[in-house]
Amino acid sequence: MAAAGEKGGSRPGWRSLGVSVILLAALCHGSSVERKIYIPLNSTAPCVRLLNATHQIGCQSSRNGDTGVIHVVEKEEDLSWVLETGPTPPYVVLLEGNLFTKATLLKFKESSRISGIAVMYSKPSPPEGFSLDHSCPNDGFGLYTDDHGSQYSHCNGSLWNPLGSGMSYEDFQFPIFLLEDDNETEVIKQCYREHNIPVNDTAPKYPLCAMQLISPMHAVTSTVTCMRRNSIQMSFSINPEAVCDSLAGYNVWSTVKPVNNSDTLPPEDQVVVSAARLDGRSFFWNLAPAAESTVSSLVTQLAAAEAIHKMPDSQSLPRNIMFAFFQGEVFDYIGSSRMVYDMEKGRFPIRLNNIHSFVELSQVALRNSSALWIHTDPISRNNDTVNTEVKQLIDVLKTSSKGTNVTLQDIDQSQALPPASFQRFLRVRNIPGVVLTDHRGEYRNKYYNSMYDTSTNINMDYPSGLSKEEALNYVTGAAQSLSEVATLLAKTLYRQAGGSDGAEIKADVNSVTRMLYGFLVMSNNSWFQSIIRSDWKGNLVNKPPQYYVTATSLGSKPSPNPPTSFLISVLANLTGQVVNYTKEQCQSPDKDAKRELYEYLWVQGPLDDNSTTRVPFCVRSTLRSHLAESPAFELNEWDSTEYSTWTESRWKEIRARIFLVPSHELEVITLVVGIVVLLASFTATYFINAKADILFTSAQDSGSVAY
């Protein structure tokens, strides 16, 4: 601006330039004021809106965000200030994690004085436990319904998750954000302490520190409504913009012996299925550490797969073994219901009648004095044939546990299965199978589907002062314990597949160690870096992966979410072979004679000797990914009660910031002054225009300055 002022040398242009400079200066000044006042919050996790056939759940802000004066609520007594006595509503509550309960939130829901909530982590995790899921998870979509096994429906007989508040399934009309970074929380608290603390219970003086939470949601009411709107948009709009997307991702599966992906197995080929889930959730979007609920079984199954592939006779076993990882199971069994659906339709290489038996791992990291519980389904065991095979499977399990530090425990045959993908298979066919867990009745996991189900929850303790590389290879108690379960699982599957006693099978505790680190502490570690598929390297971050299933616009082919991409890369590394292919051959193996049997992954590879560039290579394995989108969307049955109907609303922007608000009087004065200035500038412009002939006589001189 200074430069522009100097340029205007000629006398007549000088005055109009002066006016412009002042106006420009005011504008610039204005935006620098904005920069000073607003502090964006950079590490938050929002609660967003999800919808099913009949309901909407989650949170939303109003269109332009909701603003309120910040008030810190750290104990029960602080509530009365925001709910009753505080003189400057509405409030945004900075809520201590211990008070983030359904009871408190229901109070906020009823009050008109609350415009939003920013939740702080409770540190350490609440010792009494904390779960945001239902006390009876996945109720209504598993095996036991009012039509089938009604004596077991609604967790009758064993409530699996008694700590579950169901808060994740409530609908809130205000925004709720989680503050993920303690330093940012401290910045907010500092602003609160300086401006908002009530002194001797009298109202604090303006300006006050306020927070704005912005998370408006496009979809309302239910999946039925939003899908109808989507289709109206698609048919009538030039710029079609969907309002909601289905929750979907990929199941991952692999077999010990390759199967032809463009064919279906003949009925006499028998397959033993080993299953685990691949997703979790919490109240907040894309926040799902899922250590015990998901990663414990995922890692164990991977280690078992590695151990079996190492057996020299694994390719000649009488039966094949399939390892399945199901996606979206938290949301009414999206992945397993889709696989069963495709198997029934003959669109999957393996059919239901190929399944010989089924072993599922559920939560297994919190074993009490080495106990692992065997759950079975009482209804299918009424059939003698099935019952005999279940008993044989249990015998195999027990024999396999000899020599391992796992004590298998039976459960009374009349107890129903806990929530498990296996239930979706049993819905359509009596398959002999078991679900293995670390709990007999209620979950031992105190933090099921909450943000506290982290590595700490499964006792992964690292001594302080370890480097990243040392921690990656540091064998924790959790790794030791899970590798024992993996050994048991591998031996069991090997025998179920018709192998000999398999005494030499042993899961590699070092693999388990590195997997636990990568899946729960930091995906950006040297091992994941060297085995990840090249085009997925952007998924590696210096943080734990989050196991939320993610949303996918209908009909599109999504790319796998980060944890799925890690799983694929690890499974390929542990069970595949390095092949001598160029990048082109690896990425488009169309000419390969065995392309229907294998999948090829071009991986980043390890650093070379100079630690500068990587040496990529091609890995061949039998793993496949399988689209896990609920059949309800293929069938256009958006009100299905058979299949999951969960969708996620779309939104334009989500962010949060804090700033100082002046009193209402001052705001009014500012507004009035602003209007006066505006009017004055209009008048000035009018006069400058009117007298332009006089003001700009020597137009040629000032022509270089264009306004």
Cβ proximity to ligand NAG, 243 vs 531, nearer residue: 531
Classify strands 176-179 and 114-120 as parallel, antiparallel or unpaired: parallel
Cis peptide before 124 (omega within 30 of 0): yes
341 burial type by CB count under 10 A (0-12 exposed, 13-18 middle, 19+ buried): buried
Contact assessment for residue 674 and residue 271, using Cβ atoms and an 8 Å cutoff:
no
**C-beta atoms surrounding 506 within 10 Å:** 18
From 110, 263, 590, 653, residue interacting with ligand NAG (rule: CB under 6 A): 263
Q: Which stretch binds ligand NAG (CB under 6 A): 104-112, 400-408, 500-508, 589-597?
A: 589-597
Per CB under 6 A, 611 contacts ligand NAG: no
Contact string 156-175 vs ligand NAG (x = CB under 6 A)? -------------x------
Contact string 186-205 vs ligand NAG (x = CB under 6 A)? -x-----------xx-----
Q: Which stretch binds ligand NAG (CB under 6 A): 33-41, 229-237, 441-449, 501-509?
A: 33-41
How would you label 223-232 residue by residue, b for 16+ Cβ within 10 Å and e otherwise? bbbbbebbee
Contact assessment for residue 358 and residue 275, using Cβ atoms and an 8 Å cutoff:
yes
Write the secondary structure of 130-192 as one string of H (helix), E (strand) and C (coil): CECCCCCCCCCCCCCCCCCCHHHHHHCCCCCCCCECCHHHCECCCCEEEECCHHHHHHHHHHH
Per CB under 6 A, 510 contacts ligand NAG: no
Which of 13, 54, 8 is CA-nearest to residue 640?
A: 54
Q: Which stretch binds ligand NAG (CB under 6 A): 73-81, 290-298, 380-388, 622-630?
A: 380-388
Per CB under 6 A, 451 contacts ligand NAG: no
Per CB under 6 A, 698 contacts ligand NAG: no
Cβ 610 to ligand NAG shortest distance, Å: 4
Residues in the chain, overall count = 707
Cβ proximity to ligand NAG, 42 vs 683, nearer residue: 42
Per CB under 6 A, 39 contacts ligand NAG: yes
Cβ 676 to ligand NAG shortest distance, Å: 33
Per CB under 6 A, 214 contacts ligand NAG: no
Please name the residue that has the structure tokens 């503050």. Answer: 179
From 32, 608, 670, 671, residue interacting with ligand NAG (rule: CB under 6 A): 608
Per CB under 6 A, 531 contacts ligand NAG: yes
From 9, 30, 40, 87, residue interacting with ligand NAG (rule: CB under 6 A): 40
Which of 95, 129, 128, 98 is CA-nearest to residue 114?
A: 95
Q: Which stretch binds ligand NAG (CB under 6 A): 19-27, 122-130, 509-517, 540-548?
A: 540-548
Contact assessment for residue 546 and residue 286, using Cβ atoms and an 8 Å cutoff:
yes
Contact assessment for residue 309 and residue 575, using Cβ atoms and an 8 Å cutoff:
yes
Cβ 55 to ligand NAG shortest distance, Å: 4
Cβ 639 to ligand NAG shortest distance, Å: 7
Per CB under 6 A, 41 contacts ligand NAG: yes
The two tokens of residue 375 are 């759950």
Per CB under 6 A, 649 contacts ligand NAG: no
Per CB under 6 A, 648 contacts ligand NAG: no
Contact assessment for residue 473 and residue 525, using Cβ atoms and an 8 Å cutoff:
no
Task: Please report which helix (H) or strand (E) contains residue 579, including its range.
Answer: strand 577-579
The two tokens of residue 686 are 């009018």
Cβ proximity to ligand NAG, 406 vs 509, nearer residue: 509
Which residues contribute to the site for ligand NAG (CB under 6 A)? 39-42, 52-55, 57, 140, 169, 181, 183-184, 187, 199-200, 260, 262-263, 383, 385-386, 430, 524, 527, 530-531, 540-542, 573, 576-578, 580, 594, 596-597, 606, 608-610, 619, 641
